[in-house]
A and B are shown apart, each in its own frame.
Chain A
Amino acid sequence: EAGVTQFPSHSVIEKGQTVTLRCDPISGHDNLYWYRRVMGKEIKFLLHFVKESKQDESGMPNNRFLAERTGGTYSTLKVQPAELEDSGVYFCASSPWVTGYGYTFGSGTRLTVV
Chain B
Amino acid sequence: AQSVTQLGSHVSVSEGALVLLRCNYSSSVPPYLFWYVQYPNQGLQLLLKYTSAATLVKGINGFEAEFKKSETSFHLTKPSAHMSDAAEYFCAVSVIGTSYGKLTFGQGTILTVHP
Contact = CB atoms under 8 A, between A and B. Distances in A.
Contacts of A91: 43-44
A78 to B, nearest CB: 21
A15 B34 CA distance: 36
The residue in A42, A43, A56, A102 that gathers the most chain B C-beta atoms within 10 A of its C-beta is A102
A95 interface: yes
B90 interface: yes
A107 interface: yes
Contacts of B96: 98-100
B24 interface: no
B51 A44 contact: no
Interface stretch (B13-21, B65-73, B98-106): B98-106
Nearest to A6: B43
Give chain B's interface residue range (CB within 8 Å of chain A): 20 to 34
A105 interface: yes
B46 interface: yes
A56 B51 CA distance: 22
Contacts of A48: 100-102
B67 to A, nearest CB: 14
Nearest to B102: A45
A101 B32 contact: yes
B42 interface: yes
A95 B32 CA distance: 16
A102 B46 contact: yes
Nearest to B44: A105
Nearest to B3: A42
A43 B89 CA distance: 12
A33 B90 CA distance: 17
Nearest to A92: B43
The residue in A104, A105, A108 that gathers the most chain B C-beta atoms within 10 A of its C-beta is A105
Interface string B30-60: 0010101000011111100101000000000
8 contacts: A42-B107, A43-B90, A43-B105, A56-B102, A91-B44, A100-B96, A102-B36, A108-B43
Those 4 A-B pairs whose CB atoms lie nearest each other, nearest first: A105-B44, A107-B43, A43-B105, A100-B94
